[in-house]
Structure 1
Amino acid sequence: MSASTVLSQPFTLPSGAVVKNRLLKSAMSEALARRDGKPTPELTRLYGEWADGGIGLCVTGNVMIDKRALGEPGNVIVEDETHLAELRAWAQAATRGGAHCWVQLNHPGKQAPKGLNKETVSPSAIPFRADMQAFFGTPRELTDAEVRDLIARFGRAAGVCKQAGFTGVQIHGAHGYLVSQFLSPHHNQRTDEWGGTAEKRRRFVLAVYRAMREAVGPGFPIGIKLNSADFQRGGFTEEESLDTIKALADAGIDLIEISGGTYEAPAMTGVKASKEPVKDSTRQREAYFMAFAEKARQAVKVPLVVTGGFRSAQGMADAITSGAVDFVGIARIMAVEPRVCLRLLQGQDPLETVRMRKTGIPMIDKMGLLEVTWYTGQLKRIGRGEAPKPNESSLWVFIKYIASMAGVGRKKKPTRLRATAS
């Protein structure tokens, strides 16, 4: 079949929901909420543009479950029904034309820049590597009561998202955020029921899934974005990832999006995790994590999607016809070419090219943070009704980001988080 035919095929999820084509817009940080976490008209405009552009399944950027724990300035926050009217407007625009839109629910854990929150928390008080400690502080270890409170918060947020009219939710279990931290033996060195063995490290994500499922019921899709590996010494391995995928499949997860890396080892942006040369066969397949997806496909029947590295309509179609994945995930190209899906569904390649963004300052360029901030700037332009600027200076974007952080940083002394009733 032609690339157009393959990518245009509908797909029925285990929940019974039908996605109109095989293109999934993976999460990107938009930073388009007000300071109180309320969604803005710019966010609604951005997602309406993507819906009109033909996307089948659109996953939102980080939506935080706790106002005390932001990942970036401008995160949407869903703790309760406070912003329900704005969430409904967002969902209505994002699902135009039969598009699905799932809310990605997240907690940053330790992976939040200094000054953004009063403190950062994590399964264990493990600092970042030395060259990143100027940007990220050492977290405080979560108490057992706080762990349980966070699980309940994921569930409540999922229920609000369903009430607002979104068509699904996704757990962010990748890229070094809190769920990913619990899964990693590097970040999670606990000795209680939440750590110590691979099975215990999986308990948090499984408890989050159960809380969300209880809140939304059996017919509402729940997916997860999961690392194939952390690409860090002593971190989450492929073997542990496969075991986690099996456990999630047994629990009833609807869709697993495979990615990889953290801010300290940003493999999801195309940064090589090793010095070994890339095989021609791997390069031709475009996607960064297809080899792992093939292993996952042998282990489970749950629908799979790979995000990262796709460059052409044919490369995307080949990934699907191989049987390894059911959807292809695209993200950064949609920040510089928001209606690219219309071209892909006709079998045409994107007009723009996704490339690594660099400032020329090695310490900054090694961090995945720069990629996030540069593309976030493009999303803000689209949200304002402006055209993207594919050639905008990366250094200038980083300078603006540091300036914005200086404006929102708080100088209050850290306080312990208190668990709230579920």
Structure 2
Amino acid sequence: MSHPSPLSQPLILRSGSVIKNRLCKSAMNEAIATGKGGVVRQFEVLYKTWAEGGAGLLVTGNVMVDKRHANEPLAVAVEDRNDIRLLALWARAAKSHGGQIWAQLNHPGKQSPKFLNDAPVAPSPIPLASNMFHPPRELTEEEINDIIRRFTNTALILKEAGFDGVQLHGAHGYLISQFLSPNHNQRTDQWGGTLENRMRFVTTLYQSIRAEVGNDFAIGIKLNSSDFQKGGFTHEESIEVCKRLDALGIDMIEVSGGSWENPVNRRGEQKESTRKREAYFLDFAEQLKNNISAPIMVTGGFRSQQAMEQAVTSGAVDIVGLARPFAVDPQLANTILQGKNYQSAVVPISTGIKKIDEMAIMEISWYTDQIRRVSEGLPPKTKVYGALSAFAVLYRFWKRGQTVKRVRT
């Protein structure tokens, strides 16, 4: 007689709402919005397909709180209620099989590429180490408060549309991460300097959203365990920020790490402990578990049902996040929960072109293209054909980028 998987157990949040199981389709940029960030019906198709796949939680790709500042082409931006009917259809589709949907809210700060943004902003006027981005301008205090209002406004609109929660993107070098990092935040006012000041942006942001949406709407965060850069945001600082957010009542913390400048979880680099347990950041999650009571999610690296179950059973994590496996197998949650000893076929993509492989361009673009196929009612492809696939996908993305640039200018 087979026993039910620990992944099938429900997770009760602080608000009292219930996530039906311990599997989450974590955030991936869908790249199917209009050039101005508008919602389209393909989101309904895509998320209904993922809902049918059985995951307890679906986290959207980046939803921008300011359409002037986007991190990638064709990302959704929600500044007003113009798209609320389409947002409601999106939410209803995602919840059609009893799961929850949270929107990942983001402002990229200076990590907004040149072809999308001629005037990026940041906590401090420190450029990124790449000519893909214009040097940023330092935010004024009035602008910081405006961005907090924008996050809050977007969260409130999404609640009205039927979303169950939001996840603040505080990782991977975007604006929240920039405020937390002593490398990128060298302000001398109340928003910079000490960790207490550097975390003020995210804590104020959380409190502003909570005051508007109430306690029955989930607020989570994706946060770096570390920037993995000399002089950057450290493991110890991350734990302190998590402890503060936990005390304020955050509903879930997703552990991640790195940034655009050092994308540790995209290049396939793994410590021996990671190879054994599969997931990135699992060791840090265990440390964090000893310091907070909020549920913890880890995304990145999980490929076998056995490793996922061990992570939950051991108490290291409360929910398992999966991204790329969902792009090529929308039904994978059902497969796992049916006890079929799931093993993902996802492996690092190598094009044979060193520059492309080092930048992890193919790792992002190829899976994003499979998401596009699912949103159009097509099955995802499961095989990559080296450089040929790379050039085909990059060409499609170049065309999209040109379209977005024309729309924005």
TM-score range, shorter chain: over 0.9
Instruction: Give the counterpart letter for 2:395 in structure 1.
Output: I
1:374–1:325 Cα change, 3 Å: same
**The residue matched to 1:262 in structure 2 has which SS?**
coil
In structure 1, the partner of 2:367 is: 375
Deviations 1:209-264 (A, max 9, x none): 01110110112111001111111222111011001100100111000010111111
Counterpart of 1:191 (choices 172, 183, 188) is: 188
Instruction: Give the counterpart letter for 1:97 in structure 2.
Output: H
Counterpart of 1:327 (choices 310, 316, 319) is: 319
Asked if the contact 2:304/2:343 (under 8 Å) is kept, the reply is no
Counterpart CA distance in 1 for 2:39 and 2:27 is 16
Counterpart CA distance in 1 for 2:301 and 2:216 is 32
Is the counterpart of residue 36 in structure 1 residue 40 in structure 2? no
In structure 2, the partner of 1:355 is: 347
Deviations 1:85-143 (A, max 9, x none): 110000000111111000111111111221112321111122222xx32x222222111
In structure 2, the partner of 1:257 is: 254
Instruction: Give the counterpart letter for 1:104 in structure 2.
Output: Q
1:364–1:126 Cα change, 3 Å: farther
The aligned length equals 405
Counterpart of 2:264 (choices 256, 267, 286) is: 267
For structure 1, which segment, 188-197 or 361-370, has the greater mean C-alpha deviation from structure 2 after superposition?
361-370
Instruction: Give the counterpart letter for 1:259 in structure 2.
Output: S
Q: TM-score, normalised by structure 1?
A: 0.92
1:143–1:258 Cα change, 3 Å: same
Deviations 1:311-333 (A, max 9, x none): 11111000001111110110110
Asked if the contact 1:68/1:118 (under 8 Å) is kept, the reply is no
In structure 1, the partner of 2:139 is: 142
Question: Alpha-carbon deviation of 1:368?
Answer: 4.4
Asked if the contact 2:35/2:403 (under 8 Å) is kept, the reply is no
Is the counterpart of residue 303 in structure 1 residue 295 in structure 2? yes
In structure 2, the partner of 1:394 is: 390
Asked if the contact 1:229/1:236 (under 8 Å) is kept, the reply is yes
Pairing 1:41-52 to 2, within 5 Å after superposition: 41-52=41-52
Is the counterpart of residue 170 in structure 1 residue 167 in structure 2? yes
**The residue matched to 1:169 in structure 2 has which SS?**
strand
Instruction: Give the counterpart letter for 1:361 in structure 2.
Output: I
Instruction: Give the counterpart letter for 1:405 in structure 2.
Output: G
Question: Alpha-carbon deviation of 1:360?
Answer: 3.3
Counterpart CA distance in 2 for 1:3 and 1:190 is 55
Structure 1 unaligned segments of length 5 or more: list them: 414-422
1:360–1:123 Cα change, 3 Å: farther
**The residue matched to 2:359 in structure 1 has which SS?**
coil
List structure 1 runs of 4+ shifted beyond 6 angstroms. none
Asked if the contact 1:115/1:410 (under 8 Å) is kept, the reply is no
In structure 1, the partner of 2:233 is: 236
In structure 2, the partner of 1:74 is: 74
Instruction: Give the counterpart letter for 2:196 in structure 1.
Output: E
Instruction: Give the counterpart letter for 2:100 in structure 1.
Output: H
